Amino acid sequence: MKKTVLVTGASAGIGKATAIYLAQNGYQVYGAARRIDQMQDLKTYGIKPIVLDVTKEESITACVSQIFREEGSIAILVNNAGFGMEGAIEDIPMQDARYQLEVNVFGAMRLAQLVLPKMRENGYGKIVNISSVGGKIAFPLGGWYHASKFALEALSDSMRSEVKQFGIDVIVVEPGATRSEWGNVATDLLMKVSGHTAYKDLAAKTHQLFTRLSKQVAEPEVIARLVRNGIEAKSPKTRYTTSQIASSLLLFLKRVLSDKQMDKLILSQIK
């Protein structure tokens, strides 16, 4: 019997790659995103596209209700929908900051709230939250994005202990730099928000760094394989991270360096 999976943010990047990879490996997959027109090609893999705007309660409940009607329950939720807002904390309007958290945090948690009752009833479930190395390390000009991923990490830790008793696993996946629309959107927004403010020099240098790093990204299929490893493990790890040298090195340095040493290292790379 195929397990039903809901993958959010499935119109591109990690979400699309994950939806396709899981469908190819025997799962019944629903690919969800606002742009359903960009998911029509998923049908060739047996994936069912479904409209979902994670910032709208009516859209979230309609999405989950439709899958419940058609499949009975959702065995695996992959919370991938998200984006990165770049710019100095002083420069970003609070309305935009709230939207960052609505997409990356509250939407994911609302979906979890809706799928958990049937998971508890079935005594089985997997909730995979796609975080980031940026959920452990914060860089300048990415404060609100990092805040959303730090929050997702903490919520995952709390939820993991809460639902383990019901046979449900909560798994965090922490990608490093990955080929997707995310990078272009984030860097373009960075210059729009802070490219002409008191932070313009830092923004320009950060933009240059992002441009260099864009040539050293992992393919989204790498993350898709991590997701599958997590949901199929008898006793999954709490976190799965890519084996990229840069990401592994950063996480190691974060553990061994003081905050001020880490700040100095990050700023040296930007300059």
Going from N- to C-terminal start, the domains of the chain cover 4-270
215 a catalytic residue: no
Give tens-digit pLDDT for 161-189: 999 999 999 999 999 877 666 556 677 88
Determine the average pLDDT of the residues in 7-26. 97
Give tens-digit pLDDT for 226-253: 999 999 999 999 999 987 777 888 899 9
Among the listed residues 21, 27, 145, 199, the single catalytic one is: 145
* Token pair of 221 as six digits: 């299929």
Low-confidence winner among 83-97, 102-116, 246-260 (lowest mean pLDDT)? 246-260
Give tens-digit pLDDT for 37-96: 999 999 999 999 999 999 999 999 999 999 999 999 999 999 999 999 999 999 999 999
Determine the average pLDDT of the residues in 132-148. 95
Among the listed residues 30, 136, 149, 240, the single catalytic one is: 149
* Token pair of 144 as six digits: 């609100």
* Token pair of 251 as six digits: 């996480």
CB–CB of 124/168 below 8 Å?
A: yes
CATH number belonging to the domain at 4-270, selected among 3.30.460.80, 3.40.50.300, 3.30.465.10, 3.40.50.720: 3.40.50.720
149 a catalytic residue: yes
Going by pLDDT thresholds of 50, 70 and 90, the confidence category of residue 157 is: very high
Spatial strand order of the sheet with 4-8 comes to 48-51, 28-33, 4-8, 76-79, 125-130, 168-174, 239-241
